[in-house]
Amino acid sequence: MKKLNVVIVLAAVCLLMGAQAAHGANIYVDYYYGSDGNDGLSWGTAKASMSNALSIATPGDTIHAIGDYTYCGFDVAVPNLTLLGGYPPGGGERNPSIHTSYISNYD
């Protein structure tokens, strides 16, 4: 019976870890106050460029963006990636009707 309990507990832990991994990370990009030398894991350590944020994104991640971004020749090849704009400079509550973000890719 102890073996069965251990197997059930291990299976539950694996499921929880898988659920967290499937959710993905949040990556923050702030055109005004970010730096591409930052890790992008919070508004205080936001990346500056969309291309840099995209280069570290993995499936299931969400990129939160402040500002307008135009980049050339960069294909977005990350499945299930979410891009969200509409944040005020420096971070804060998302309100796309007040804080617009424009993201485009052109050649």
pLDDT at residue number 23: 74
pLDDT at residue number 27: 98
> Exposure pattern of 68-107 as b/e (b: 16+ CB <10 Å)?
ebeeeeeeeebeebebebbbeeebeeeeeeebebebeeee
Q: What is the DSSP string of 20-68?
A: HHHH--EEEEETTT--TTS--SSGGG-BS-HHHHHHH--TT-EEEEES-
Binned at pLDDT 50, 70 and 90, residue 22 comes out as low
Q: What pLDDT digit, counting tens, does each position of 54-63 carry?
A: 999 999 999 9
Enter the pTM of the model. Answer: 0.73
Say if residues 105 and 76 touch (Cβ distance below 8 Å): yes
Q: What is the mean pLDDT of the segment spanning 22-47?
A: 93
Q: What is the mean pLDDT of the segment spanning 5-28?
A: 54
Binned at pLDDT 50, 70 and 90, residue 42 comes out as very high
pLDDT at residue number 47: 96
